[in-house]
A and B are shown apart, each in its own frame.
Chain A
Amino acid sequence: MSLLATLSGHSDRVWHAAWHPSQLQLVTCGGDKAVRVWTSNETTSTSTSKEATWTQSASIDDAHKRTVRAVAFSPDATLLTSAGFDGATAIWESVGGSEFECVATLEGHENEVKSIAWSASGSLLATCSRDKSVWIWESLGDGDFECIAVLHEHSQDVKMVAWNPRREILASASYDDTIKIWRDKDDDWYCSDTLKGHTSTVWGIDFDETGDYIASVGDDKSLKIWHNANISDAFTPYKCISSTPSIHTRAVYSVSWSKTHGKIATCSGDNYIRVFEVDANKTAVKMIAEIPNAHGDFDVNSVRWCPLAEHGHLLASAGDDGNVKVWSFKGIVDSNSK
């Protein structure tokens, strides 16, 4: 892994970094209550020799009254969304240049919102909170959102939500040590499965490209892979098909399963980023790269593979040092050029 860029600008820990769906652009957020957008000048596809220049192209200061915990672009990139410890989810629209305007604020959670996720079609937005609930919102266009479900089955703080990349199936990860799967039947959302196996908080989850597998990480330091043999059947349960203990020495805060090359990246309070290769049956993982002290002496809070096929080797990370970093995974660039 080689470091391509260090994006400095946040004045407190950075909690999350999310990629633009179709351009080399990142949106980040953190303890300084700001949302920042970073753009690369690189327009052509993979070149390892040339170092792309990243610059901050927009900043929303005081986006929330408290820490901004999560950010995401909508799938068509017309909207930016942010979730705050102030309990609100804000919807931002670009109004030209580097200006963003808040077009809607989704309220209802009793306290900190921890994560947001857009369904692949862009019609649904999920949020989750320390209030133990998961909410699903329908996007009606023009910044109009309607809450269509309030889901209460987690017994503790919900840390993260993620949509299946191919179907309208939602997964949520919680401080109650479980992952829950949510589906709708005749517009009624319900919990169809509870994945038990982690022995402490589940911090991160991500689907693979097919949507049949989920990778999960958390406080117990393990990496688990779950499989659903028939995901279109709501009665088929997920099974844990792989569990690798102690992939890090402290809590694992984030996992990203690349949709372009299938490698899994993780990051931790032990300051490491690690990359794992998964075998064909997804039952065994092998560490193939690691970055010690990826953000110096500080925790690494999130990792995200770039979703663009031609830039799939790029990995973004966010750390307690206030920086966002963009890494190039050489192993993937090399195999692409063969």
Chain B
Amino acid sequence: MSKDNANPVVFTVSDEETSKAKSKLWRLMAARAAGDSAADSDAMDLDNSADVEQIDAHEVFDLIRNINDPEHPLTLEQLNVAQLRHISVDHANSHISVVFTPTIPHCSMATLIGLCIRVQLLRCLPQRFKVDINVEEGTHQSEKSVNKQLNDKERVAAAMENSHLLEVVNQVLQTQDKRGISRILWGT
């Protein structure tokens, strides 16, 4: 199968950025995967206690930066599909907005990439967060329809019951394996 964008521009991921990948949520998942039972009570604290560290854009970025592109052996961060500056978090009002940038305006994978981001955040964030996922304005020819689909909870719920699609999404998200946290995410 020919790829939509055979030669994507690869962006250098700075070490400094990578070293910041130690967000509370990330540490929590890693700890749980390592069998640390204290992590579960941490999870409760994270959602219930008022004085815990607030979830910020860095944390959310950490959760999606290493998602694989469906076509290339590169992460969404390396392809500049996901960028820290395009994530906003309103912790107090439980609202998160993620904007992503398809590599080319006719990318047929845009909906799948957005769905993977949504599933990843659904699985990792406290449930109270309302998440809006949109294509960066002016970067995709079907921007409106991609956005509409990604933000229709009924269609997302139906998609998640489609075993074929779920398999594809899980495959894309499996890059997380390297970090040893997949077991906790997929519950196996």
A residues within 8 Å of B by Cβ?
A: 13, 31, 66-67, 69, 85, 111-112, 114, 130, 157, 159, 175, 200-201, 219, 250-251, 269-270, 296-299, 320
Contact = CB atoms under 8 A, between A and B. Distances in A.
Contact of B155 (A157, A200, A296, A299): A157
A275 B40 CA distance: 40
A31 B148 contact: no
Given A66-B161, A175-B148, A200-B148, A130 B127 contact: no
B94 A67 contact: no
B24 to A, nearest CB: 19
Contacts, number: 40
**Top 9 nearest A-B pairs by Cβ distance?**
A297-B128, A66-B161, A112-B158, A85-B158, A85-B161, A67-B161, A67-B157, A250-B130, A269-B130
B152 A201 contact: yes
B154 interface: yes
A296 B126 CA distance: 13
Given A85-B161, A200-B148, A250-B130, A159 B94 contact: no
Given A175-B148, A201-B148, A31 B127 contact: no
A298 B130 CA distance: 9
A85 B159 CA distance: 10
Given A69-B154, A85-B158, A85-B161, 10 more contacts: A67-B157, A67-B161, A111-B158, A130-B158, A159-B154, A175-B152, A219-B151, A251-B151, A297-B127, A298-B127
Nearest to A66: B161
Interface in B114-157: 127-128, 130, 148, 151-155, 157
Interface in B42-63: none
A297 B125 CA distance: 13
A112 B159 CA distance: 10
Contacts of A296: 128
Contacts of A114: 154
Nearest to B149: A175
Contacts of A112: 158
A130 B127 CA distance: 26
